[in-house]
């Protein structure tokens, strides 16, 4: 509990910064979906260098993938020599087996904070008839005032963005748009990775770290 509280204090300025940005966009265009989309674009632009670095590292690993596969076959029965040969290959070509994973993993805290800020917009107080208590948003902003007027709701283009697909009052039909968005996001990620692998189909097979990243990162 103490650790969680300490982490909350450390990241509080970042939560507040994200909230200020989304409040700014909402003041310009008073639409929740547009404000959240613009904030997400800003976050993706800020983390773009990490994305580029990760992609560059993955492409570098793809270039040495054929040699990696040869070494794995050559030292198939000797894990020690295989690892030594692979490390020498990485050093020779100045690549890292985790170079494509680490920059992407470093982005995760940023997107968790982004989710926390958006989730905090619909925070409710205790009681049977709870009042809206948006977290992180400055009380002087129009975003805060509009959230207080509609506790637990964020309606945009006729859809309540605060609704959850698994809400007890949601029908299967009503939850379809939510699951559709999730499915589309996952499919888009897998498609992007498949396009990268098409240039060198042996790369992912030769690099277990890359293979694991491609399996689980879209779901995360």
For residue range 189-219, what is the model confidence (pLDDT) as tens digits?
666 666 555 655 555 554 555 556 556 666 6
Q: What is the pLDDT of residue 97?
A: 75
What values do phi and psi take at 160, rounded to 5?
Answer: -80, 105
How would residue 8 be classed by pLDDT, with cut points 50, 70 and 90?
A: low
Contact 207, 96 (CB under 8 A): no
Considering the entire predicted model, what is its pTM? 0.68
Please state the domain extents for the chain: 2-91+98-162
Residue 206 backbone phi and psi in degrees, to 5 = -80, -25
Closest listed residue to residue 32, CA positions, set 182, 122, 154, 151: 154
Q: What is the pLDDT of residue 129?
A: 79
Burial 50-73 (b: 16+ CB within 10 A, else e): beebbeebbebbbebbeebeebee
When computed from its CA atoms, the radius of gyration of the chain, rounded to whole angstroms, is 23
CA distance 141 to 56: 41
Does the structure show a pLDDT above 80 at 137? yes
pLDDT higher than 70, residue 188: no
Q: Which pLDDT value is given to residue 163? A: 73
pLDDT attached to residue 26: 96
DSSP secondary structure, the chain, as one string: -HHHHHHHHHHHHHHHHHHHHHHHHHHHS--HHHHHHHHHHHHHHHTHHHHHHHHHHHHHHHHHHHHHHHHHHHTTT-HHHHHHHHHHHHHHHT--TTTTTHHHHHHHHHHHHHHHHHHHTT-B-SSSSPPB--SSS-TTSHHHHHHHHSTT--EETTEETT--TT-TT--HHHHHHHHHHHHHHHHHHHHHHHHHHHT-THHHHH-HHHHHHHHHTTT-
């Amino acid at each position: 509990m103490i650790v969680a509280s300490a982490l909350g204090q450390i990241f509080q300025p970042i939560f507040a910064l994200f909230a200020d940005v989304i409040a700014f966009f909402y003041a310009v265009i008073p639409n929740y979906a547009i404000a959240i989309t613009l904030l997400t674009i800003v976050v993706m632009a800020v983390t773009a260098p990490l994305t580029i670095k990760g992609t560059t590292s993955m492409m570098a690993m793809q270039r040495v993938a054929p040699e990696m596969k040869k070494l794995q076959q050559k030292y198939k029965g000797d894990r020690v020599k295989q690892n030594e040969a692979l490390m020498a290959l990485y050093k020779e070509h100045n690549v890292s087996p985790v170079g494509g994973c680490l920059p992407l993993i470093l982005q995760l805290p940023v997107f968790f904070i982004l989710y926390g800020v958006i989730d905090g917009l619909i925070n409710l107080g205790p009681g049977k008839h709870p009042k809206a208590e948006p977290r992180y948003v400055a009380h002087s902003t129009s975003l805060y005032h509009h959230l207080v007027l509609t506790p637990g709701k964020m309606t945009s283009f006729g859809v309540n963005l605060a609704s959850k697909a698994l809400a007890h009052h949601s029908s299967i039909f009503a939850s379809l748009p939510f699951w559709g968005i999730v499915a589309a996001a996952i499919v888009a990620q897998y498609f992007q990775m498949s396009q990268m692998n098409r240039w060198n189909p042996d790369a992912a097979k030769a690099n277990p770290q890359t293979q694991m990243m491609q399996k689980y990162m879209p779901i995360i």
